[in-house]
Every structure is written in C-alpha cells, then in structure tokens.
Structure 1
Amino acid sequence: MGNRPNGPITVALVNDYDVVVIGVANMFDQYRDRVVVAELDANEPVEDTVDIVLYDNFAQPESDHDELAVLVANPRAHRVVVYTWNFHPELVRNAQQQGAHGYLSKTLPARELVAALEDVHAGKTVVSDAPPRARSAVGLDWPGRSEGLSDRESEILALITQGNSNAEVAKLTYLSPNTVKSYIRTIYRKIGVGSRTQAVLWGIKHGFTPDHDRIEHWRGGP
C-alpha cells in the first residue's frame, strides 16, 4: 500500500438509500484519524469538495452509467471510487473507462477499505480482486437486513420495488434470469408473501423505495 496522507481523507458517500450510506459511514468511525465522512447523499448531488466520492452501487442500475458519469464530472469530487460486490468484467471495464479511480469490494474489512482509499488518494487506481461470493464486510447495512434478507436478496427486492421486471433485474445485476427467479422465490418465502404485488407493497412499507436526502457534517465532519 502507498504512504499515508498527511491528514485524514475527506469522503462523500453516495447511494439511493440512507440505511446503506449510514452503514458505510459507521464502518469508518474507528478510523477518523484517516478518513472523515463529509456528507451522505441519497439521490442528491455532492455539494462538499471532497477527496473521494465512494459510490455504493447497492440497487443502482449497474449497466446504466449516467450516475457514475455525473459523479466523475463533478469538480467537487477529486476522485470517484465504486463500492460493490459485482465484479463482472464489463462493469469493471466500463467504470474505469468512465473515469472511476477505484473499484472496491464490499467484502473488504474496514481497515483494508481505508488503506485502499488512501492509495486512491495518493494517485493510484485500485481495483479489488474479484471475490468469491461472500458476506459483505462487518458493519454494512441494507434495507430488510433486520427481517433476515441477505445483502443480495435485499438488492433484488429493491430493484423489484423500483418497478423492474425479472428480465430488467437480470440485466441490471448481470445475473442470469434463473438466478434472479431463485432469489425471488427465497425472498417471497422470507418475507411471507405469495405474489409480486405483495412483495412490492412489503418493500414500500419496509424502506425499499429510494430516499431523497443529504446528511451533512456526519458526526462532526467538515
């Protein structure tokens, strides 16, 4: 890893869901001497000038690069890093072509994530090794977690709640249609519903619709 910067890195966290970005922010709490969260943005543009924007693509349209392009073009964002568990080669390649400075795995422990962000801040392009399917790092959160949904199940339900068909979910997540169907069957069983309409209503009731919010000065940040 590269040399540590002289002061803490300032980071903006971006995703459509408050619970997701708050979970990431909590991961950094014990590393406040190295990473300071400036703001958390759910469907809001980055306003603070920050060293790094960490774009968590939970339930984002991963094959639609508009949001990533907007972040890269924002002069307040010195560097942009994608934070994901989806390492399909096309997604990694497209992110780099759009100007992302890092593509980091959500399975990284907090200490490794912080070190990777320091390397990005030092001028390196950092791409995590594609992990075997594993649990997300300790401390992360997502809608439906307290109801027993895994991170990936939660993402599938969020995309359904947003109105996507099975075919669209498969395209957006780079999963096969059969894999998507398997996830949906498991989700229905876990949340106790028998139809797509019931699943969408359950999702709306339990926080699966995107938020529109900005949280500034996270725990004393700039």
Structure 2
Amino acid sequence: MPAAAGPIRVAIINDYEVVVRGLADMLGGYADRVRVVELSTRDGVSSPVDVVLYDTYSRPREDPRGVQELTGDDRVEAVAVYTWNFEPELIDGALAAGARGYLAKTLPAKELVESVERIHNGEVVVSPSPGHTPVVSGDWPGRPEGLSLRESEMIALITQGRSNQEICRLAYLSPNTVKSYIRSAYRKIGITSRSQAVLWGVEHGMRAYPYRASRASERVPS
C-alpha cells in the first residue's frame, strides 16, 4: 500500500467505545501528524490505514491471531499492540505475528505519536517495560469512579464471567496480586461480592458490544 500524503492515518481497535474514543481524544492534539480515521471494536478495518493501534484493554493476554488477521489485511500498513502487559512471551508472540510495534499505555501522547511515526517509517518499535508506572492517559470504564486501569480491567474480566484463576492466566498476575486489585476496586466502588461486581460492570459499560465508527462521518452505535 503506498504511503498516504499528510497526517498518518490511524485506526484504533478495542472492544469498548470509551476506550477507543479516549485514545482518539488523546491523539487529537496532534492532528497535523496523525489522523484517527476509524474507531472499531472488531478485529478489522473498513478503509485503508497506515497504522492500527490494537488496544488490549479487557484482552490482557494478547491473542496473536488477532494481530495476524490485521497484518494480513491489505488495507493495513502496520499494526502496533497498545498495552501495559509486557511479558516477553506476549511481545515475542505479537512481533512474530507481524506487529511492528509494542507500545506501553504509560507513554505520554507526544511519545506515542513519535512511536507511531517511527512505525510508519518502517521501524519496529518496542517501548521499555512500564513496570508499575501508572497509566494516566486515554480512558477506560470506571475511571470517573476512581478505578485505575488495572482495577477496571479486573472488574471487566469479572463482568465477562472470568474466575480469579482465569484472570491470573490472562493478565500474567499472581493470585495475591489479582485479589489485591479486586479488593481495591470493590472498596472504591462500594461493593462486596462478585455478583455485585458483575451488576456494577454491566451498569458502567463493562459489557463489550459490537461497535464501529468512522471518525470522518461520526457514526455512532445505535
């Protein structure tokens, strides 16, 4: 696919409207360099793009098949996984599946845009591991109620029906760490049980719905 003139065309993919819109808003101050042309909650695009940012919120253990589907799409020039999970196995799997970037959610907007530009110019870009650095940019369900990204993801996975054991496997976290995040989340949102967590998650947008929106036409889910 020939490179587009002007700003780099970016598509953002995730299961949640608030997540893709939050990331799009984060990039909005750099419209002269990157232009968000598509927001999607499906693993694909509907028009040619230069770089796909594949946000892994609620998919903490990235599935290389999703990356492979995107890199195999002739309308996609390059794919970058956007995540806080930097387990070597996940990085290697994403790159082996064809991703040209593995970017941390702790990157300030300016550095994220610079990484997208480098990827568009043909580089393979892997951010330094974020460690325990908090994520302060973008958006996620439960943020207005005070949940951190990881606490929000715990509630989202519980809302999906995941057990603690499954969450440990998906998020590469120890049982004690998962329990700690869950206890902290429960305390912040004023609940005490898993059934209450599921109800709270559904009421606060943690059940993912199929969604696709063209930034140009401003289509929104009905």
TM > 0.5: yes
Q: Compared with structure 1, are the counterparts of its residues 136 and 34 closer, same or farther at alpha carbon in structure 2 (3 Å cutoff)?
A: same
Aligned equivalent of 1:157:
155
- 1:140-155 mapped onto 2 (5 Å cutoff): 140-155=138-153
Worse overlay, 127-136 or 96-105: 127-136
Supply the distance in 1 between the matched residues of 2:83 and 2:62 (Cα, whole angstroms). 13
The offset of 1:51, in angstroms, is: 0.3
Aligned equivalent of 1:203:
201
Worse overlay, 96-105 or 36-45: 36-45
Aligned residue pair count: 215
Q: Which amino acid aligns with 1:162?
A: Q
Supply the distance in 1 between the matched residues of 2:10 and 2:105 (Cα, whole angstroms). 16
The offset of 1:65, in angstroms, is: 2.7
Structure 1 unaligned blocks of 5 or more: none
Supply the distance in 2 between the matched residues of 1:10 and 1:61 (Cα, whole angstroms). 25
CA contact (8 A) 1:108 1:137 kept: no
1:80-117 CA distances to partner (integer Å, 9 max, x unpaired)?
A: 00011111111111111111000011111111111110
Structure 2 length normalisation: TM-score?
Answer: 0.92
The offset of 1:63, in angstroms, is: 4.7
Q: Which amino acid aligns with 2:177?
A: T
Aligned residue for 2:123, secondary structure, equals: coil
How well do the aligned residues superpose, as a CA RMSD in angstroms? 1.6
Q: Which amino acid aligns with 1:174?
A: Y
CA contact (8 A) 2:43 2:69 kept: no
Structure 2 unaligned blocks of 5 or more: none
1:148-206 CA distances to partner (integer Å, 9 max, x unpaired)?
A: 10011001111111111111111111111111111111111111111111111110111
- 1:95-174 mapped onto 2 (5 Å cutoff): 95-138=94-137, 140-174=138-172
- 1:24-43 mapped onto 2 (5 Å cutoff): 24-43=23-42
CA contact (8 A) 2:19 2:140 kept: yes
- 1:28-67 mapped onto 2 (5 Å cutoff): 28-43=27-42, 45-67=44-66
Structure 1 length normalisation: TM-score?
Answer: 0.92
Whether 2:192 is the aligned partner of 1:194: answer yes
Higher relative contact order (CA 8 A, sep 6+): 1
